[in-house]
Structure 1
Amino acid sequence: MNLTSGLGTIRDKVTGSMFTLPLLDKGQVDNAYRGDWIARKIVDVPAFDETREWRDWQAKKPQIEKLEAEEARLGVQSKVARARKLARLYGGAVLFIGTGDADPMQPLVPERVKAGGLKYLHVFSRHEMIAGELDQDPLSPFYGEPIKYTLAGKTSMVDVHPSRVVRFVGAELPDRVMAYDGWGDTVLQAVYDAVMQAGSAAAAIAAMLQEAKVDIVKVPGFMESLATEEYRSRILQRYQLANTGKSITNTLMLDGDEEWSSKQISFATLPEVLNTYLQIASGAADIPATRLLGQTPGGLQSTGQSDIRNYYDRISAGQNLELRPALSRLDEVLIRSALGSRPADVHYTWAPLWQMTEPEKADVFAKKAKGVKDVADTGLIPDPAFARGVQNMFVEDGTFPGLDAALDEFGDEPDDKDADEEAERLNAEQQGASE
């Protein structure tokens, strides 16, 4: 506070500022998504990036094949991507786990699901699958979720137990009291001003293009002569002929008393102005401009890789903090439907978002090969164990496609005879040393 300058006092204009929240209704959200390219990309891009490389199952090869076939049959990847988009757009969406049970209001028990028990997956937005009253019992496994969902069909209403729903929330609300139905905000709510300002700046510049060059002609007694209809008609014909002659002969013919000039608008700084508003929208969406706008990185030494890597790190964090917990309910059913049981060692990892170029892959392979040789030369790890470890490394990172199948065909177990001879040699060396 400064009493002399008025800073922080009632004379300070800033003290009259406050935050307001004009909530977007469904109609505004739909119009923004359908009519504004920035709003659409803010909704779609993170959801697309979360699911585009999908996940890698960690299990035995026959199990992986069955799991991937089951995901393909149900369209899991595409439906999760759509559910995430709807959640970001409307504040909430669900995947309905269909097992063919007669009463969907009964709890879903994953242990009872047999092979092929997962019949279908359906995607619904929060406006289609209506959330009921929230479960306020802190001892309930569904605390904070709706006690039931109601699916509005064409001819009837169907109640669904929360255990049969994979729930996705858009922008989470800070207080449970605000989220009376458990859903969040549309992600467009917080970026609305930034998107509108960027769109307004682009529209204003586009309008200025129409006035980029204006010809000005001074005509003696112009205003006085306009009083007559004949003069108005003749003056229009006069300059239509003048413009026609200019386009044909590239010469503007004027009367001796007329004066002609041209006014041009400078656009020198407008690209920076527009780019500033687009950068603000990009920052508000937490998506780098190189991804949101397809913009070439600025600066002589800039490649944009650091921005993209940071963005991918954030997407990866969202996969583990938001997507994985939500999908755990589905996965317990999906694994049993694919394999007929739930092996404890079956799990998955998210496929990397950053895709290396061929030279980068060759460089990584060369470094790995050198590292393998350096470790092998130390002799600290028995050869059979080390060979198995190297094989697993090359299988898991995909360095040699089809290596796992080749090992299954030709055998990946170390030769028992060679192992026995190696053991006898080591025992003999140890006995000789002790004697």
Structure 2
Amino acid sequence: MISSSPVNGFVLGKEIHDDRLLTLITRPVPDMLKPAYNFSGVSMLQLMQPYVERWQRTVDSVSALIKAFSITGLKTSMDNVLSGGEGSSAQLVMRAQLFSMLRENLNTMLIDKESEELFQINTPLTTLDSLIQKSQEQMAGPSHTPLVKLLGITPSGLNANSDGEIRVYNDYISSLQESFMRPQLEVILNLVQLDLFGEIDENIFFEFASLHQLNDEQQATVNKTKAEAAQILISSGVIGQDEVRDTLSKDESGDYSGIDKDKLPDPMDLDYEGNQETVNAA
């Protein structure tokens, strides 16, 4: 029976028990294969290798096909060559050389109208770009990385964008953080608390930073929506202005982070007389 992982390991020449080592394996393998993988998991390089090799073969095949996509031939009499006549092979080679020498747009091709015929075979190239593109897109599969991030390829089409793919990618990264990174960091956080305080405070926790970032226009829209919602709640008597100021002061991502929630601005009296506005400080 093969153990799932070694009990002891060596770090800088010292034998260390496995409960002192934090292992992070995001792509584990069955226990039978763990010794072959040094008790770790499958690397991203191993997952990407077959996809990259297939893409390289596709590119080489397309390049070779483009190089010889058009075949030009000359139907001529082969009786002398097949019968083994003297000098027939040399004459055939000379005819082929003459044919190749004159097969340009600026030259004149001469053929025997009775015994020779010119033909051309062209291979369709309409789907070659699609073959390369599909083969290249498959390389993004193992890493779950959007094409615009991995290869810089933007989606084509009217109003096409990569926002949906990037959001799915961010969700995938967040799931990796929660599944693999959080358990490791929680162990470290608990050890630090035990070393500093002698106990674990359940009120101390951490959250991963959001991967989704808003641009200036989107952030302005969100701030406006929050301000309108706060105004409605204040007008309805659900919350007070001091509670809104407290929320703004604690919002580190906002423009009003760190304001003194207890230092209220001076109230303003606004008197309107027709189109004339008079502002009197109270």
Contact 2:249 2:261 in 1 (8 A): no
Larger proportion of helix: 1
- The match for 2:254 is 399
Runs of 4 or more above 6 Å deviation: 333-337, 340-343
Is residue 204 from structure 1 mapped to residue 204 from structure 2 by the alignment?
A: no
For structure 2, list consecutive stretches of 5 or more residues without a partner in the other structure.
82-86, 267-282
> What is the SS of the residue equivalent to 1:149?
strand
- Distance change >3 Å, CA 158–CA 210, structure 1 → 2: farther
Query: Which amino acid letter does the alignment assign opposite residue 254 of structure 1?
Result: M
Structure showing greater relative contact order (alpha-carbon pairs closer than 8 Å, 6 or more residues apart): 1
For structure 1, list consecutive stretches of 5 or more residues without a partner in the other structure.
1-132, 135-143, 419-435
Correspondence for 2:89 among 227, 234, 238: 227
Is residue 310 from structure 1 mapped to residue 168 from structure 2 by the alignment?
A: yes
- Distance change >3 Å, CA 269–CA 256, structure 1 → 2: closer
Correspondence for 2:262 among 403, 409, 414: 414
1:214-245 per-residue CA deviation (whole Å, 9 max, x = no partner) reads 332345559725634x874x5576356436xx
- The match for 1:168 is 24
Percent identity between the two aligned chains: 18
- Mapping of residues 35-434 of structure 1, within 5 Å: 146-151=6-11, 157-173=13-29, 175-180=30-35, 182-187=39-44, 194-221=51-78, 224=81, 227-228=89-90, 232=93, 234=94, 238=98, 241-242=101-102, 246=104, 250-257=105-112, 259-283=117-141, 285-297=143-155, 300=158, 302-331=160-189, 344=201, 346-393=204-251, 395=252, 398-400=253-255, 403-404=257-258, 407=259, 412=260, 414=262
- Distance change >3 Å, CA 333–CA 214, structure 1 → 2: farther
1:166-218 per-residue CA deviation (whole Å, 9 max, x = no partner) reads 42214123x44543564222345566655544443333222211112233234
Contact 1:290 1:304 in 2 (8 A): yes
* Alignment RMSD (CA, Å): 4.0
Contact 2:27 2:41 in 1 (8 A): yes
How far did 1:281 drift? 4.7
- Distance change >3 Å, CA 239–CA 354, structure 1 → 2: farther
Distance 1:255 1:335 in 2: 93
Contact 2:22 2:184 in 1 (8 A): yes
How far did 1:389 drift? 2.0
Contact 1:288 1:307 in 2 (8 A): yes
Contact 2:248 2:254 in 1 (8 A): no
Contact 1:166 1:327 in 2 (8 A): no
How far did 1:333 drift? 6.5
- Distance change >3 Å, CA 376–CA 254, structure 1 → 2: same
